[in-house]
Structure 1
Amino acid sequence: MRRLYRDFLIRDWTADDRTAAAAIIRSVLAEYGLGWEPEGADRDVLQVEACYQAVGGEFWLIEQQGKLLGTGAYYPIQRGQKAVEIRKMYLLPEARGQGLGRFLLEALEATIAVRHFEQIWIETASVLAEAVKLYESSGYEPATGIETERCDRVYLKVLTSRRL
């Protein structure tokens, strides 16, 4: 998968990205006072092959002029009906405020819809105010059933099938 947004490239993860992806996520979490959990909530970043690729999910990297600036991913989950969870949507500060987050979310949603999933779940923390605003303005509704300890919000979006 390769998509362009302005001069940003969104592409599939490779094993060479493991350290850089972890560093991006660790940095953004620290910026917001949240902890990096390599044995818990962030184990999936260190085990992308098992946690995403082996179960039918995808993990993407965002780069600009060869520098990695963000991540975004999803994988199928058992919660809900034909459901996925969007995870690891993180952008470094220099990539924010340009519409990239919305573009990334819409690209993830489009990919998920093409794969015939019906529900998208997202867990986040209130301190990630920009993310909360993005999800709420993109049609995600508050839900219940938080599964990640550092998160205090969960959202659900039901995809509607379009009849031709």
Structure 2
Amino acid sequence: MHTSFKSFVIRDWQPADRGAAADLIGKILADYGLGWEPEGADVDVVQVEQYYQSGEFWVVEQGGTLVGTAAYRPIERGEQAVEIRKMYLLPVARGQGLGRFLLGQLEGAIAARGFKQIWLETATVLKEAVCMYESAGYQQATGVETSRCDRVYTKSINQVS
């Protein structure tokens, strides 16, 4: 992956991004009163190579500074399904359509690889994310697996626009 949106560059994660990506996600979680869990829910950020061998992990830069992340990986639940994970943007990158653009890019990459279903988990406190997912056609489901999350959504690939 290598594309741009306005002044943002979206590219594949590199090992040199590990610290900055972890710091960014930890900061955003803290801003919403959620905990950074490097040995739990966030182990995939610490061990990207292991967790995203069959998926993709992207970073978003602006002026050479990391301002966001987005990823997906295959999962067992659902039918030929993936889970969108680690979609986080710093405040400086919000409110410009970047989140919706990233979601569309993820959906396109997932569809191109032949997956049939997308799942994601989030927390009610992440109001902007909840709004974006619902307006993008994600349907609330049951079966939250991440302790800090209280919402799970799913979308069939044939619903991807």
Same fold per superposition (TM over 0.5) = yes
Gaps in structure 2 of 5+ consecutive residues: none
Q: Following TM superposition, where does structure 1 have runs of at least 4 consecutive aligned residues deviating by more than 3 angstroms?
A: none
User: In structure 1, the residue corresponding to 2:133 is in which secondary structure?
Assistant: helix
Aligned equivalent of 2:59, options 55, 61, 86: 61
CA distance, structure 2, for counterparts of residue 102 and residue 3 of structure 1: 14
Gaps in structure 1 of 5+ consecutive residues: none
RMSD, aligned α-carbons: 1.1
What TM-score, normalized to structure 1?
A: 0.96
1:159 Cα deviation after fit: 1.0
Could you tell me the percent identity over the aligned residues?
65
2:132 corresponding residue in structure 1: 134
CA distance, structure 1, for counterparts of residue 57 and residue 27 of structure 2: 18
1:30 corresponding residue in structure 2: 30
In the TM superposition, what are the counterparts of 1:3-18 in structure 2 within 5 Å? 3-18=3-18
> Counterpart of 1:20 in structure 2: which amino acid?
A
1:87 corresponding residue in structure 2: 85
- 2:137–2:159 CA contact under 8 A, matched in 1: no
1:48 corresponding residue in structure 2: 48
What TM-score, normalized to structure 2?
A: 0.98
1:84 Cα deviation after fit: 0.1
Number of residue-to-residue matches in the alignment: 160
> Counterpart of 1:83 in structure 2: which amino acid?
A
